[in-house]
Amino acid sequence: MREILAIFKGLYITLKHNLKNIFKNQFTIQYPDIKRRLPQRARWALRLQRHEDGTERCIVCQLCAAICPSEAIYIEGDENPIDNPIGKGQRYAAVWMWDAGRCLYCGFCVEACPDEVIIMSDVYEMASPSRESMVWDKNKLFVPIGVKPKQAWMGFYRNINQIDGNPVSLPKEIHQKEEEVYAREKKERKRFYENKKFMFLEDENFINSK
């Protein structure tokens, strides 16, 4: 009897959702003919930026490869030729490889890069029949020559109000979020919350003082 009731319960839930969606007149986006516009802070395929004159920005500091938790980045540096410089530093990235299959898309490499070489793009169509083709080299990673570099920001910095001239809605400060949570909690947690709020405020005062 329980098995029969479980079946009817599942049918009821499915029918309820179907009727609700029908009367709301909400339709699925006809992908791939129509693609949804992604937010500016979307974290998808990595891209490498150039200087405005077309030279490469990477200085082969290896910070991105060091911070990558999944070891999805591999870089080999070489001396920058004086006659025909590839970048503006003493060294340039002779090999720059990114494994899209291993990447966690966490954005750590973007934050670690001191010269804003790495950005997270809105390219999400990366399906491939083989693992080998998921590894991107320099030719695929670097943006075309002439593309103006943009600010690389994943949302961890606090004092940025716009990206490429467009306003950005910054997330609420941590202690403001905790204030909203505490308003719904029991009063017995007040002492714990006050200590936690003090630590967050001290952290923000320290960062803003720099």
Q: Are 98 and 133 in contact (CB under 8 A)?
A: no
Choice among 51-60, 127-136, 174-183 with the minimum mean pLDDT: 174-183
Task: Tell me the domains of the chain and their CATH numbers.
Answer: 46-167 (3.30.70.3270), 174-208 (no CATH)
Instruction: Tell me the pLDDT tens digit for each residue of 191-205.
Output: 555 554 544 444 444
Q: Are 57 and 115 in contact (CB under 8 A)?
A: yes
Q: State the Cα angle at 63 between 60 and 64, rounded to 5°.
A: 95
pLDDT mean over 26-51? 82
The proportion of the chain whose per-residue pLDDT surpasses 90, expressed as a percent, equals 34
Quick one: pLDDT band at residue 184, thresholds 50, 70, 90?
low
116 closest CA partner among 46, 210, 208, 40 = 46
pLDDT mean over 74-90? 91
For the full predicted model, state whether its pTM sits above 0.85: no
Which has more confidence, 128 or 181? 128
Instruction: Tell me the pLDDT tens digit for each residue of 123-177.
Output: 999 988 999 999 999 999 999 888 888 777 655 444 455 555 665 554 445 445 5
Per the omega criterion (within 30 degrees of 0), is the bond before 32 cis?
A: yes
Dist CA 140 CA 95 (whole Å): 12
The distance of Cα 74 from the centroid of its chain, to the nearest Å, equals 19
Helices (H), ranges, the chain: 2-24, 63-67, 108-112, 138-141, 174-183, 190-208
The distance of Cα 194 from the centroid of its chain, to the nearest Å, equals 32
Instruction: Tell me the pLDDT tens digit for each residue of 91-113.
Output: 999 999 999 999 999 989 998 89
Dist CA 6 CA 12 (whole Å): 10
Which has more confidence, 77 or 207? 77
Average of per-residue pLDDT values in the chain:
78
Is 67's pLDDT higher than 90?
A: yes
Dist CA 134 CA 108 (whole Å): 20
Instruction: Tell me the pLDDT tens digit for each residue of 18-35.
Output: 887 777 766 677 788 888
- Strand, coil or helix: 193: helix
Give pLDDT, residue 145. 83
